[in-house]
Amino acid sequence: MPDITRILSEYFDSFYPKEKHEALRENRIDRMRMILDRLGHPERAFKTIHIAGSKGKGTTSYLIAKALSEKGHKTALFLSPHVYDIRERFSYVDLFFSDREYSEALDEIKKRMNGFEIPEEYGPKSPTTFEMYLSYALVLFREAKIEYAVIETGIGGRLDATNALTPIYTLITEIELEHTNILGDTIEKIAYEKGGIIKRGIPVFVSNIDERALGVIEKIAKEKESPLYMLSSWNEIRPSNSDTLSEKEEEDRRLALFSLYKMGLIKKGDRLNLSINLPARFEIRKLDNLNLIIDGAHTPSSIENLILFIEKEKKYRDLTLIFSLTEGKNIERITSILFPHFKRIAVTGTGSFKKSPIDEIYSIGEKWAKECSEYRKIPKPREAISWALSKKKDILITGSFYLASEIDSALRREDA
């Protein structure tokens, strides 16, 4: 059978928007509902759990799906973005679907979407790439007779295409300033966007979040008469104190278990193996006798947790840093936390369609890189990893999942 990852990538790339359309964002939910109607509403074939947040939503999604799978439920995950393989977006918990399942679902969606156009007043006539990722996932899950689907939002929540679904419950993880050019420039505005996934009468579970964000979430839940459950009020399952989990991952684990327990999907005494196996979440590779640490941290809180975890591991004290961010991130705050800990830093691009303000990062970061013996701007990630390898020291790659993907591609080309 032909390479299914290449076939899928080429198909979804064909939906990448050729130009920006002002009507797109505000009409995302209506657009997605039109697509679901065209597809025969595949989302009605299984139960959905919907998750939003600035950080930790991917890990929390994964842990919920893993727990459900261990309890014997056929469970699937929809995550974004993918890091190394497009199939990461639509998978079983620790397994991809078979090539046949991916191929048959692709044939089905091509057949159903043939000739379909969205009315022009709702934005581009053709569905966007993300709309098609989600549509394909729902068709794939229906055809595979999934029982539960754990769905992570793309950006925000209120106007995200995933918000066209009706879940059995929702979760909101940590909220920070991120995607400020899209979601707003205050915690309250971003919380409003994340809280938009709360549905009338449907339970919502909330992690330990900023009080300003909590006030917004509480107001939305009250207006929609949705039961609100706070992680801070729950003590039944204590942290595992695992050496392999960071403090943030422990919190994500507790939120996942809290929600499952309250919804009656697990019970006290259940023995669950909730180790985390996700790409670019403190992933460690061996390369030329060096440790290569890849982590997709891209918010101030996640960067803080990454630094704490590295400092706990004494063997990782002298790392070369390769760093990038996409637009809309808190460059000042993130570089102030990260850069003082490194003597060698390369600021690079993400190598993706998501723009990286390299010059701005380099300029702002310079004042936090005073301890650096080498501080470089190397726009191409492939050249940045070559420079870092030449230092013969362990390497940390962080700031963007897109950067992680680009570095992985560069290393694969070197090995080919």
Q: Is 267 a domain residue?
A: no
Confidence band (pLDDT; 50, 70, 90) for 416? Answer: very low
**pLDDT at site 233:** 85
* CATH code at position 394: 3.90.190.20
Question: Please, are residues 259 and 205 in contact by the beta-carbon 8 Å criterion?
Answer: yes
User: pTM to 2 decimals?
Assistant: 0.89
Please choose, from the candidates 88, 100, 95, the residue with its C-alpha nearest in 3D space to the C-alpha of residue 74: 95
Q: Is position 270 within any domain?
A: no
Instruction: Examine residue 269 and state whether it is found in any structural domain, yes or no.
Output: no
- The reported pLDDT for the residue numbered 45 is 98
pLDDT at 1 > cutoff 50? no
Report the number of distinct structural domains present in the chain: 2
Same domain, 73 and 151: yes
Residues 171 and 136 in one domain: yes
Distance CA 148, CA 74 (A): 7
Q: Please list the residues that pair with 169 across neighbouring strands.
A: 49
| Share above pLDDT 90 across residues of the chain, in percent, rounded to a whole number | 67
pLDDT grade, residue 19 (50/70/90)? low
Residue 301: band (very low, low, confident or very high) from pLDDT cuts 50, 70, 90: confident
As a whole number of Å, the end-to-end CA separation of the chain is 22
In-domain check, residue 273: no
Tell me: do 187 and 327 sit in the same domain. Answer: no
Whose tokens are 């999942």? That residue is 401
> Would 268 be classed as within a structural domain?
no
pLDDT in tens, 199-211: 999 999 999 998 9
E strands, 329-370, where? 344-347
Query: What is the average pLDDT across 177-191?
Result: 77
| Residue the block writes with tokens 């890990």 | 59
Same domain for 291 and 258, yes or no, is no
pLDDT digits (tens, 9 = 90+) for 36-54: 999 999 999 999 999 999 8
Other C-beta atoms within 10 Å of 411: how many?
16
User: Is 198 part of any domain?
Assistant: yes
H/E stretch holding 139 = helix 129-143
Q: Do 9 and 151 fall into the same domain?
A: yes
Q: How far apart, in whole angstroms, are the C-alpha atoms of residue 383 and residue 176?
A: 32
Average pLDDT over residues 265-272: 88
Query: Which of 205, 232, 262 finishes a domain?
Result: 262
E strands, 361-402, are 374-377, 395-398
The model's pLDDT over 49-107, given as tens digits with 9 standing for 90+, comes to 999 998 889 999 999 999 999 999 999 999 998 999 999 999 998 899 999 999 999 99
**Model pLDDT, residue 313:** 72
Picking from 227, 262, 297, the residue at the C-terminal end of a domain is 262
Sheet of strand 290-295, all strands in order from the earlier edge strand to the far edge: 283-287, 290-295, 395-398, 320-323, 344-347, 374-377
Structure tokens at 274: 């909730």
How many percent of the chain have pLDDT more than 70? 92
Q: Does residue 278 lie in a domain region?
A: no
Run of H or E including 134: helix 129-143
| Each residue's pLDDT tens digit, 309-340 | 888 776 777 899 999 998 878 899 999 999 99
With H, G, I as helix, E, B as strand and everything else as coil, classify residue 295. Answer: strand
Are 409 and 354 within one domain? yes
The whole-number pLDDT of residue 264 equals 96
pLDDT at 356 over 50: yes
**Rounded average pLDDT over 16-42:** 86
Beta-bridge partner residues of 78 = 90, 151
Considering the chain, what is the average pLDDT of its residues? Answer: 90
Tokens at 9, concatenated: 């990538």
Instruction: Please give the pLDDT value at position 245.
Output: 62
Residues 168, 293: one domain? Answer: no
Q: Name which of 96, 128, 141, 107 is nearest 27 in CA terms.
A: 128
Instruction: Give the closest residue to 165 by CA, choosing from 46, 1, 332.
Output: 46
Same domain, 253 and 288: no
- Is 49 in contact with 167 (CB distance < 8 Å)? yes
Residue 26 has pLDDT above 90, yes or no: no
Residue 32's domain comprises: 4-262
Looking at the structure, tell me whether residues 334 and 392 fall in a common domain: yes
CATH number for the domain that contains residue 153? 3.40.1190.10
Instruction: Give one DSSP letter per residue of 44-111, joined into a string.
Output: GGSEEEEEE-SBSHHHHHHHHHHHHHHTT--EEEE-SS-SS-GGGGEE-SSSPPPHHHHHHHHHHHHH
Q: Are residues 294 and 251 in the same domain?
A: no
Radius of gyration of the chain from its Cα atoms, rounded to whole angstroms: 21
Q: How many CB atoms lie within 10 A of CB 41?
A: 12
Task: Say whether both 160 and 295 belong to one domain.
Answer: no
Cα–Cα dist 253/64, whole Å? 8
- Amino acid letter, residue 44: R
Q: Which residues of 245-264 are buried (b: 16+ CB within 10 A; e: fewer)?
A: bbebbebbbbbbbbbbbbee
Pair 336, 253 in one domain: no
Peptide bond into 81 cis (omega under 30): yes
d(CA 92, CA 70): 12
- Residue 177 pLDDT exceeds 90: no
Residue at 208: amino acid letter: N
Residue 155 lies in a domain: yes
List, in order, residues 6 or more apart from 233 with CB less than 8 Å away.
none
The secondary structure element, H or E, covering residue 294 is strand 290-295
The pLDDT of 159-164, averaged and rounded, is: 96
Please, which residues have CB within 8 angstroms of residue 11's CB and are 6 or more apart in sequence? 106, 110, 132
